């Protein structure tokens, strides 16, 4: 599928850098690692349910990352938001390729107790680290696969399959359009493999 270009990013890439990549490629369509629910939250169409009494583990992890980002004066998720708003502001068709966050939260609420405990321990370690710390994505993925296989399937494997499916669908629907997709680096390699194997 020669009409697809996938760019792997960290979720801390600046708005200016993302816009530069878009201008360099000049796509007809932009794809982002977001779902409809998160799109509506970011555009103000849907108010985030901050009033929930019982936060899920995934909510806690997300809140901790957002808190750390604020503390370090960085915008976590800046890559996806910048690409999304660029598409909106420049009237470029936008595709949302991720699995719905509501479905992910539902699945994460049912992970085994030992995996939830492992994640809580990792969250404690994370609190003392910087978001800008250099991370080997392959090492992180392999650690998840080994230590928290159910969580790995929910957060990585299932999402990779969903992302690849949506990218292929749009590439086939718009074969003459240049499609630029922004994905987190932890998804890029496997999504490309799935697409190439189809």
In a domain, residue 64? The reply is: no
Domain that includes residue 47, residue range: 4-54+74-99+135-197
Average pLDDT over residues 53-63: 72
* Range 7-35 burial, b when 16+ CB lie within 10 A, else e: bbbbbbbeeeebeebbeeeebebbbbbbb
Antiparallel, parallel or unpaired: β 179-184 and 4-9 = parallel
**pLDDT 10s digits, 68-125:** 778 888 788 899 999 999 999 999 999 999 999 999 999 999 999 999 999 999 888 8
In a domain, residue 175? The reply is: yes
pLDDT given at position 51: 44
User: How many domains does the chain fold into?
Assistant: 1
Tell me the pTM: 0.88
Angle CA(195)–CA(166)–CA(146) in degrees, nearest 5? 60
In a domain, residue 68? The reply is: no
Assign residue 149 the CATH number of its domain.
3.40.50
Strand partners, 81: none
Kindly indicate the confidence band of residue 48, based on its pLDDT and cuts at 50, 70 and 90: low
In a domain, residue 11? The reply is: yes
Between CA 59 and CA 84 the distance in angstroms is: 22
In a domain, residue 126? The reply is: no
Q: CB-side exposure of 4: number of CA atoms within 13 Å? A: 23
């Amino acid at each position: 599928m020669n009409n697809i270009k996938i760019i792997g990013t960290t979720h801390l890439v600046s708005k200016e850098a993302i816009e530069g990549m878009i201008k360099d490629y000049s796509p007809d369509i932009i794809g982002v690692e977001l779902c409809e629910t998160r799109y509506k939250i970011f555009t103000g169409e849907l108010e985030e349910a901050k009033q929930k009494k019982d936060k899920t583990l995934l909510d806690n992890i997300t809140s901790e990352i957002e808190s750390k980002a604020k503390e370090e004066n960085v915008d976590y998720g800046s890559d996806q938001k910048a690409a999304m708003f660029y598409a909106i502001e420049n009237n470029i068709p936008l595709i949302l390729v991720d699995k719905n966050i509501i479905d992910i939260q539902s699945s994460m609420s049912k992970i085994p107790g030992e995996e939830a405990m492992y994640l809580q321990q990792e969250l404690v370690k994370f609190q003392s680290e910087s978001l800008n710390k250099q991370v080997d994505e392959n090492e992180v993925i392999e650690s998840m696969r080994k230590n928290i296989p159910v969580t790995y399937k929910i957060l990585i494997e299932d999402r990779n399959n969903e992302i690849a499916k949506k990218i292929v669908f749009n590439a086939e629907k718009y074969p003459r359009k240049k499609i630029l997709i922004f994905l987190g680096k932890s998804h890029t390699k496997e999504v490309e493999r799935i697409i190439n194997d189809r």
